[in-house]
Amino acid sequence: MATSEIRPKDPGVDPATGEYRVIGPGQTFRSITEKISRIVLTPRTPMGWFAYFAVAGSGTTMLLVALTWLFLKGVGIWGITQPVAWGFAIINFVWWIGIGHAGTLISAILLLFKQQWRNSISRFAEAMTIFAVMCAATFPVIHVGRPWLGYWLLPLPFTMDVWPQFRSPLMWDTFAVSTYATISVVFWYMGMIPDFGTFRDRAESKIAKYFYGVLSWGWRGSVRHWVQYETASLLLAGLATPLVLSVHTVISFDFAVAVLPGWHTTIFPPYFVAGAIYSGFAMVLTLAIPLRKYYHLEQLVTERHIDNMGKLMLVTGFIVGYGYAMEAFMAWYSADHWEAFTFWNRAFGPMGWSYKLLLTCNLFIPLTALWSRKLRTNIAFMFVLSIIVNTGMWFERFVIIVTSLTRDFLPSAWGTYRATKWDYMTFFGTVAFFLFMFLLFVRFLPMIPMNEIRLLLPQAKIKPKVTAEAGD
């Protein structure tokens, strides 16, 4: 698209390149530090934050009620039956893990590729990853029926000499998710250490000084500290990069290693990874757009960030579409009666409405709209689109799991699936818990990395002149 289509007098556009700015004009080291610090160190918490926190807290209470009743009565309170032994629990597990992928991608891969536009959104994308993994990790534990024995999944030297069954996909999930969560937490916390040092020095309350002083680990901002910090960041980014590909690949093996039609396919690993990044960036938009509006961060999270995330969603959306096409192609090309029937059942069977809904939300709407730069930089449209995409990605998991299980090889074993109120309470409760944790993060921790944003300023790139005397 020609640069003339962008308003030339728009202050958010760089007149030299015609591109949207990564950071708004007129920003200084002091203004950035004060804007980000004021959100956390303000003595008065906005009433709007309390309102959202109350809603999220109520939803989290609903989750606790649902889990308590589940522990008392068992998984029979859910809608799972024979043959649909996997229901909302595994659907939500895969969905939440997928949402957490964009945080690692933004933090690690874009850091290694030196993409500066990642700086403004990297921190809360990392936080989103951690909270999404927390929600995801809940479901493998509670769906096994005896969650109080969840420690059996760990390779501990029990006196019974009962060791984990490493041929079980449940074990693969345990190690993949725990590794992913560990690296994500370390990366997230280490990136905040310089900002904790700033908060420690600017805080007026003794409690805040002590709190952020402990978290900063004695950060002084010396050259030695910065060198070690940057080295550790690159090392962790190198460790985290393979996780973007490995974690959801391992999750896809839960299905791909089965002989069930619709699951036993080699397209699942790349298909799941692309879908995870697709839904992850959609969730970043869902969180970033209200935050930039509520906290007046338009100069730090600009149209450039929204535009670039829209481009990445367009790319990964086409990969997801390719996966859908390959499923249809292999159902025909394999000449396998059961594969062909499974695809037909997904599209035109009793639950065909869910397949049509996922195609609409994941392909037809986003892949036609995201070609337009005007729409990619329309804030309200991108917010609505992000919700549409995440809805479609949830139904994608629903279609993969439920429709494949309801009708398999034997018609005598066919069944149906209907979620109960406890399924819905558990799902929406995890959504509320996610928002509950995210609101706490926004209130007490720096949601945008100050040190990385300051490096984007023009004055940060000015090298001091060295005279002959100074050189001597």
Average confidence (pLDDT) over 280-289: 90
Which tokens hold the place of 303? Answer: 């149209």
Instruction: Tell whether the model's pLDDT for residue 333 goes beyond 50.
Output: yes
pLDDT at residue 391 in the model: 93
Band of pLDDT at residue 305, cut at 50, 70 and 90: confident
Instruction: Specify if 19 maps to a domain.
Output: yes
Buried b (16+ CB within 10 A) or exposed e, 275-312: bbbbbbbbbbbbbbbebbeebebebbbbbbbbbbbbeb
Average confidence (pLDDT) over 119-136: 86
pLDDT at residue 382 in the model: 92
CA 327 to chain centre: 26
Which tokens hold the place of 271? Answer: 């298909």
Q: Which residue carries 């990790």 as its tokens?
A: 137
Instruction: Tell whether the model's pLDDT for residue 316 goes beyond 80.
Output: yes
- pTM more than 0.85: yes
CA 81 to chain centre: 30
Phi and psi at residue 357, to the nearest 5°: -65, -40
pLDDT at residue 146 in the model: 81
Q: What angle do CA 209, 215, 219 make, to 5 degrees?
A: 85
Instruction: Tell whether the model's pLDDT for residue 358 goes beyond 60.
Output: yes
Instruction: Tell whether the model's pLDDT for residue 334 goes beyond 50.
Output: yes
Instruction: Specify if 159 maps to a domain.
Output: no
According to DSSP H, which parts of 295-365 are helical? 303-333, 337-348, 352-359
Average confidence (pLDDT) over 268-272: 87
CA distances from 20 to 138, 140, 267, 276 (A): 40, 43, 37, 27
Buried b (16+ CB within 10 A) or exposed e, 204-223: eeeebeebbbebbeebeeee
Average confidence (pLDDT) over 244-258: 85
Band of pLDDT at residue 459, cut at 50, 70 and 90: low
Three state DSSP letters for 118-154 = HHHHHHHHHHHHHHHHHHHHHHHHHCCCCHHHHHHHC
Q: What angle do CA 105, 86, 243 make, to 5 degrees?
A: 20
pLDDT digits 0-9 by tens, 56-77: 999 999 999 999 999 988 888 8
- CA-to-CA distance for 185 and 381, rounded, in angstroms? 32
Instruction: Say which DSSP state 238 is in.
Output: H
Instruction: Specify if 156 maps to a domain.
Output: no
The sign of the torsion formed by the CA atoms of 381, 382, 383, 385 equals positive
- Cβ–Cβ under 8 Å, residues 124 and 291: yes
Instruction: Specify if 166 maps to a domain.
Output: no
When mean pLDDT is compared over 44-53, 184-193, 288-297, 362-371, the highest value belongs to 362-371
Instruction: Specify if 254 maps to a domain.
Output: yes
Instruction: Specify if 155 maps to a domain.
Output: no
Number of domains in the chain: 1
- The CA dihedral of 79, 83, 89, 92, to the nearest 10 degrees, is -110
Phi and psi at residue 170, to the nearest 5°: -60, -35
Phi and psi at residue 31, to the nearest 5°: -65, -40
> Average per-residue pLDDT in the chain?
83
Which tokens hold the place of 151? Answer: 């420690």
The closest of 331, 322, 334, 347 to 403, measured between CA atoms, is 347
Question: What's at 372, amino acid-wise?
Answer: S
Average confidence (pLDDT) over 405-416: 81
Instruction: Specify if 454 maps to a domain.
Output: yes
- Cβ–Cβ under 8 Å, residues 24 and 12: yes
Which tokens hold the place of 369? Answer: 């709209």
For residues 163 and 272, the model is more confident at 272
Instruction: Tell whether the model's pLDDT for residue 9 goes beyond 70.
Output: no
pLDDT at residue 57 in the model: 93
pLDDT at residue 394 in the model: 93
Question: What's at 105, amino acid-wise?
Answer: L
Band of pLDDT at residue 460, cut at 50, 70 and 90: low
Instruction: Tell whether the model's pLDDT for residue 31 goes beyond 80.
Output: no
How many percent of the chain have pLDDT more than 90? 19
Instruction: Specify if 215 maps to a domain.
Output: yes
When mean pLDDT is compared over 32-36, 311-315, 412-416, the highest value belongs to 311-315
DSSP letters, 442-460, are HHHS-SS-HHHHHTTSGGG
pLDDT at residue 444 in the model: 87
pLDDT at residue 463 in the model: 54
Which structural domain range is residue 97 located in?
3-142+173-461
pLDDT at residue 217 in the model: 85
Please count the other Cβ atoms lying within 10 Å of the Cβ belonging to residue 230. Answer: 10
Which of 282-286, 298-302, 326-330, 337-341 is the least confident region? 298-302
Instruction: Tell whether the model's pLDDT for residue 261 goes beyond 60.
Output: yes
- CA-to-CA distance for 39 and 297, rounded, in angstroms? 11
Question: What's at 387, amino acid-wise?
Answer: I
